[in-house]
Structure 1
Amino acid sequence: MERSLETQVGQAVDAWLAWLPRWEPANHRGRIAPCRRCFGSPVLSAAGLGSDVPHGVQHGLSTRVKTIVDHAVAEYTSRNLPMLQTELDQQAARNRRRSYRPAEGLEPEFEGMPLDPEPEPGAPFLFTLTGLAAEEDAAIPALPPLSDAAKAALRQEVGLADDYANMIGREVCALLLHHRLRIQAAVAEYVEPQVAAMLDDLSRSLDAPFDPRDPGPLAS
């Protein structure tokens, strides 16, 4: 029996809450480009996860909720949009021909995140996961082109799928409102103390920028 949307949202929040105690602040340089999945997300607004919450915490929840919406849209497409479904099936079959798919099978906390770190100025990578995946993709023949009429019909079905996704998204956001208190309580328990500790460490390092054991240049 298909689970209700309310049940799916509750289970997604439960899974995120079970993961949250394992979250730790990232110790690498932040990325310049904002995450397209999380930046300005109505899902995160409904969950009460504002811009003051670390992105890794946000991403773990937004990805789980996106999976719910994607599944609902996939069900709708398979039942009502045959041309779009055929196109998706062909693309999926093409993707399965790739032997190297580094972005697949990731945990929700990493799904949709960049595969490679930001490059250091003057120190280019010998290779990147993104580049290797692109080489693999380029070696596979593209899908056959569509006629103008087929393109127009496909655009119409894509529009219907987008409308359905927006409708499901609004329903999911409304359901998330019922979980805001426990989401915010978990952030206060597991996230805020770690952020406060990082800020405290930063404050101490700014107050004492030099190692007190180092005599410094004046000692000479």
Structure 2
Amino acid sequence: MERSLETEVSQAVDAWLRWLPRWEPATHRGRVAPCRRCFGSPILSAAGLGSDVPHGVQHGLSTRIKTIVDHAVADYTAQNLPMLQAELDQQAARNRARSYRPAEGLEPEFEGLPLDPDPVPGAPFLFTISGLADAADADVPALPPLSPEAKAALRQEVGLADDYANMIGRDVCTILLHHRLRIQQGVSQYVEPQITAMLDDLARSLDAPFDPRDSLGE
């Protein structure tokens, strides 16, 4: 039996809550560019995860919910949009032909994130994961070109798929409103104590910027 949208969202929140105790604050340098998946996301707004919640926590939930929308749109496309489905099938076959696919098979917490860290001025990378992926992609033949008529028809079907995605997205956001309480409880239990501990450590280091033992040797 096909699962309802309510069930899928509930199970996605359940999975996120099971992962949440494993979350730890990032200790590496933050990125300059905002995450395109999470920045201004109506999904996160509906879930009650505001800008005061760390991005890693947000991303783990938004990716799981986006997967639900993507699957719904894929089913709709397969049933109603034959031209777009054919184009997607060709692109999927092309992707499978690539010898290196580092962005596939990632856990939800890492899906959609940049493959490489931000570059440091004056310290160029010897190689990058995205560069290796691009090199592998260049070895695969491009898809055959479309006629102007086919392009126009394809654009129409893409518009229909976008409309359907927006409809499913609104439904998902409405459902998420009913999970806000347990989402907030999870953040309060597992995230906020770690943030508080980090702030306490920072406050102690600012109060005592020098190790008192350093003066003993003078």
TM-score range, shorter chain: over 0.9
Instruction: State the Cα deviation string for residues 161-188 of structure 1 (Å, max 9, x = none).
Output: 0000000000000000010000000100
Give the Cα–Cα distance (whole angstroms) in 2 for the partners of residues 174 and 49 of structure 1: 15
Write the mapping of 1:1-220 to structure 2, written as runs, cut at 5 A: 1-215=1-215
Q: State the shift of 1:120 in Å.
A: 2.0
Q: Secondary structure at the match of 1:15?
A: helix
Number of positions where the alignment pairs a residue of Structure 1 with one of Structure 2: 218
Give the Cα–Cα distance (whole angstroms) in 1 for the partners of residues 205 and 122 of structure 2: 28
Q: Secondary structure at the match of 2:66?
A: helix
Give the Cα–Cα distance (whole angstroms) in 2 for the partners of residues 121 and 110 of structure 1: 25
Give the Cα–Cα distance (whole angstroms) in 1 for the partners of residues 126 and 206 of structure 2: 36
Give the Cα–Cα distance (whole angstroms) in 2 for the partners of residues 14 and 71 of structure 1: 18
Q: State the shift of 1:111 in Å.
A: 0.5
Give the Cα–Cα distance (whole angstroms) in 2 for the partners of residues 69 and 151 of structure 1: 25
Q: TM-score by structure 1 length? A: 0.97
Q: State the shift of 1:121 in Å.
A: 2.0
Letter in 1 for 2:179: H
Q: State the shift of 1:122 in Å.
A: 1.3
Give the Cα–Cα distance (whole angstroms) in 1 for the partners of residues 72 and 55 of structure 2: 26
Q: Secondary structure at the match of 2:157?
A: helix
Give the Cα–Cα distance (whole angstroms) in 1 for the partners of residues 32 and 199 of structure 2: 21
Please provide the CA RMSD for this pair.
1.2
Give the Cα–Cα distance (whole angstroms) in 2 for the partners of residues 133 and 210 of structure 1: 46
Instruction: State the Cα deviation string for residues 106-132 of structure 1 (Å, max 9, x = none).
Output: 000001111111122211111110000
Q: Secondary structure at the match of 2:215?
A: coil
> Which of structure 1's runs of 4+ aligned residues deviate more than 2 A?
none
Q: State the shift of 1:140 in Å.
A: 0.9
Instruction: State the Cα deviation string for residues 175-206 of structure 1 (Å, max 9, x = none).
Output: 00010000000100000000011111111112
Q: State the shift of 1:12 in Å.
A: 0.2
Letter in 2 for 1:215: S
Percent identity reads 83
Q: State the shift of 1:215 in Å.
A: 2.7
Q: Secondary structure at the match of 2:213?
A: coil
Q: Secondary structure at the match of 1:215?
A: helix
Q: State the shift of 1:89 in Å.
A: 0.2
Give the Cα–Cα distance (whole angstroms) in 2 for the partners of residues 158 and 31 of structure 1: 32
Q: State the shift of 1:141 in Å.
A: 1.0
Gaps (5+ residues) in structure 1?
Answer: none
Letter in 2 for 1:177: L
Letter in 2 for 1:59: H
Q: TM-score by structure 2 length? A: 0.98
